[in-house]
Chain A
Amino acid sequence: MKNNQENNNLDEKGNDDLELGAVIKNEIEFYPKVGEWKTEFPVYDHDKCIGCGICVKHCPEGAIKLIKTPKGKKAVADLEWCKGCGICPTVCPTKAIQMRKK
C-alpha cells in the first residue's frame, strides 16, 4: 500500500490499493540487503572445509550454499545477505570458518 497521508478522510479515500488482509507480496528486489548490517564477515578455509553442510542448515538468513569444486563440496556465503551473526564458525566441526572485522 502506498502511504497516502495527505488525505486522512477514510470515507473519501478509496481502499483500492490495499492488499487483502494486510498480506505483503514479497517482492524481494525492493528489500534492503541485510548484508549491510554486519560488522564482521566469515572467511571460509576451503582446505579445512569438508562440505558437511552443517553451517548451511544453521544460517538464519539462508545465505550459505554448498558449491561443487575440484576438491569436492565446499561452503560459500552470499555476503550481500550475510548479517555477520557468527553462528557458522561456532557450528563448524573443522574450524574452517573465521570471522574477520569488516
Chain B
Amino acid sequence: MKNKQIKKAITGGFAVGEAIRQINPDVMAVYPITPQTPIVEYFAQEVADGNAYTEIIPVESEHSAMSACIGSAAAGARSMTASSSQGIMYMMEMLPIASAMRLPIVMAVSTRAISGPLNIHGDHSDAMAMRDFGWIQLFAESVQEAYDNLIIGTKLAEKALLPVAPNMDGFITSHSVENVEIMTDQAVKEFVGEYQPTQTLFDFNEPKTFGAIALPESYFNFRKQVYDAMQEAESKFLEIVSDFEKISGRKYDLVESYQLDDAEKVIVAMGSTCGTIKATVDKLRGRGQKVGLLKIRLFRPWPVEAVYQALKDVEQVFVLDKNLSFGTSQVLAGNVEIALKRPINSVVYGLGGREISEEEVEKIFTGEVRSFLI
C-alpha cells in the first residue's frame, strides 16, 4: 500500500540530508567538501534542532571520516558519511578496508571532477576511481532518485554487508531545486528497520579482533568473499526495490529502459544527463527516428545480464562516459562491451561540469560526435 507522501521543492543535497535524518543513523562522521556540503549542512542543523539523535563526529579529514565510520560500524553502529572528489581521493586508503571488513557504511556522494587542474564541478571521475573497491554504487538521475537511493542503499548495505555509495551529480542534482515526494518518517524507519549487526566489537562474551592481517594462505579467500557478496548484492537490490515500490509507489530496476522496445540507436548513460537524453529521445521519436536510452541505476555490481537483455537487439549503441580513463577504453563503455560482447561507440562528455545540450545528444545519435563531446 502506498503511504502518504509530502511534496517538497528542495535541492538534492537537502533531500539526501532529509533521508539521512529520517533514517537517523547512530554515527555520522563528516568533513566538508564541495559539492557534498549541503547534505551535512542540512543534517547537522536537524541534529542541532533535536530532530535526529545521531552522534556527529566532526573529524579533521576524509581519511579520518572513513576511519571513524569503520570503527563505529565495527562497534555495531549504523554509520554514514558524505563526500566528493578530493575527499574520496583522500579516504581512498580506507575504502577497500570498509568493504573487506564487510561493514555496511553508507556514503552519500555528490560526484565531482578530480584535480588537476582544480575543478569543483560535476563529473563522475571520483565515483569511477572507487569502482573496484567493493563498494555498491547507485546513480541518481534526479533529486527524487537521490532521496530514494539513499533509503534503498541503507537497507541494501545491511542486507549485503557491503558499503554503499549512492551517487548524485554534483551541483546539477545536489544544488538544483526539484519537486520531491518525501515519505513519512514512520514509513522510512519501518522500511530500513532497526540495524542488527551480525558481529560487533562490543561482544564481551565472544571477544573478536577486527581488521587483522591475512597472509597468503587466507588473503585471497577473504577478497573472494567480497567478490561473492558483490555478486549476490544484485538479487538483494531487486528484493529491496520491490519492497520499496510497495511503500512509495516508485518502481526501480537495475537499469531503466526508455523507448527501447523497437529502438535502433540507443544511448547508455548514468546520472542527471539521462533527463536531457530522454527529452532528446522524445523529440527524435516525434520525427520518426527509432532511438532510446538505457539508464544504469546500479553500477556496482555491474548488471551484466540486464544490460545484455536490454541491448541485445539494438543495432547501434552509444555509451556516454562522464569520466576519462587515460590509455584504455572508458569505464562504462568497457562494461557495456563486456555485457554485449561486441563493439560499441564510446563518447566522453561533460568533464569538469561542461554542459551537454539536446542538440549535442542529437549529434551523438547521428554519429557526428565520435569519441569526445568537447
**Residues 196-231 of chain B: 1 if any A CB is under 8 Å from the residue's CB, otherwise 0?**
001100000011111110100110111011001000
Question: Please, which residue of chain A has its CB at the minimum distance from the CB of B219?
Answer: A22
Q: A1-B221, A15-B224, A15-B228 are in contact. Are A20 and B208 (CB under 8 A)?
A: no
Interface residues of A in 1-25 (CB under 8 A from B): 1, 3, 5, 10, 13, 15, 18, 20-25
CA separation between A10 and B226, bound complex, in Å?
A: 13
A15 to B224, CA, bound (A): 8
For window 26-41 of A, CB contacts with B under 8 Å fall at 26
CA distance A20 to B210 in the complex (A): 10
Chain A residue nearest to B199 (CB atoms) is A23
- Chain A residues in 8 Å Cβ range of B172: none
Q: For the complex, what is the distance from the CA of A21 to the CA of B220, rounded to whole Å? A: 12
Among A15, A23, A24, A26, chain B packs the most CB atoms within 10 A around the CB of A23
Question: When chains A and B are docked, how far (Å) is the Cα of A13 from the Cα of B209?
Answer: 25
Interface size on A, residues (CB 8 A): 14
A26 to B: closest C-beta gap in Å: 5
Q: From residue B85, how far is it (CB to closest CB) to chain A in Å?
A: 28
Report chain B residues within 8 Å CB of A25.
206, 208
| Cα separation A4 to B64 with both chains bound (whole Å) | 36
Do A21 and B102 touch (CB < 8 A)? Answer: yes
| CA distance in complex: A10, B228 (Å) | 11
Interface check B240, CB cutoff 8 A: no
Candidates A10, A21, A24, A26; contact of B100 at CB < 8 Å:
A21
Asked if B198 contacts A22 (CB within 8 A), the reply is no
Question: Given A25-B206, A26-B207, A26-B208, are A20 and B218 also a contact pair (CB < 8 Å)?
Answer: no
- How many Å from the CB of A20 to the closest CB on chain B? 5
Does A22 contact B208, Cβ atoms closer than 8 Å?
Answer: no
Q: Which of A22, A23, A25 has the most CB of B within 10 A?
A: A22
User: Who on chain B is nearest to A11 by CB?
Assistant: B224
- Given that A20-B199, A21-B100, A21-B101 are known contacts, is A1 also in contact with B218, CB under 8 Å in the complex? yes
* Contact indicator per residue, chain B 120-159, by CB within 8 Å of chain A (1) or not (0): 0000000000000000000000000000000000000000
Q: What distance in Å separates the Cβ of B170 from its nearest Cβ neighbour in chain A?
A: 31
Smallest distance from the beta carbon of A77 to chain B beta carbons, Å?
A: 22
A10 to B221, CA, bound (A): 7
B107 at the interface (CB under 8 A from A): no
A21: chain B residues at CB < 8 Å are 100-103, 161, 199, 210, 222, 225
> Which residues does chain A contribute within 8 Å of B210, judged by CB atoms?
21, 23
A23 near B209 (CB under 8 angstroms)?
yes
Residues of B with C-beta under 8 A to A23:
101, 199, 208-210
- B203 vs chain A, min Cβ distance (A): 10
Given known A-B contacts A10-B224, A15-B225, A20 and B161 have beta carbons under 8 A apart: yes
In the bound complex, residues from chain A placing their C-beta under 8 Å from that of B100 are: 21-22
* Pair B221/A5 contact, Cβ less than 8 Å: no
Q: In the complex, A24→B215 CA distance in Å?
A: 13
Report how far A22 CA is from B199 CA in the complex, Å.
Answer: 11
A22 touches B211 (CB 8 A): yes
Q: How far is it, in angstroms, between the C-alpha of A23 and the C-alpha of B206 when the chains are bound?
A: 12
Task: Please pick, from B101, B206, B207, B228, the residue contacting A22 in the complex, using a CB distance under 8 A.
Answer: B101
Q: With the chains together, A34 CA to B238 CA distance in Å?
A: 50
Closest residue of chain A to B214 (Cβ to Cβ) is A22
Which chain A residues lie closer than 8 Å to B224 at the CB level? 10, 15
For the complex with contacts A20-B199, A22-B212, 7 further pairs of A-B residues with Cβ separation under 8 Å are A10-B224, A18-B221, A18-B222, A21-B101, A21-B103, A21-B199, A22-B218
Residues of B within 8 A of A (CB): 100-103, 161, 198-199, 206-212, 214, 217-218, 220-222, 224-225, 228
Residues of A within 8 A of B (CB): 1, 3, 5, 10, 13, 15, 18, 20-26
In order of increasing CB-CB distance, the 8 nearest A-B pairs are A21-B102, A24-B209, A21-B101, A26-B207, A3-B217, A22-B222, A10-B224, A23-B208
12 contacting pairs across A/B (C-beta < 8 A):
A10-B221, A15-B221, A15-B224, A18-B221, A20-B102, A20-B225, A21-B102, A21-B222, A22-B100, A24-B212, A25-B208, A26-B207
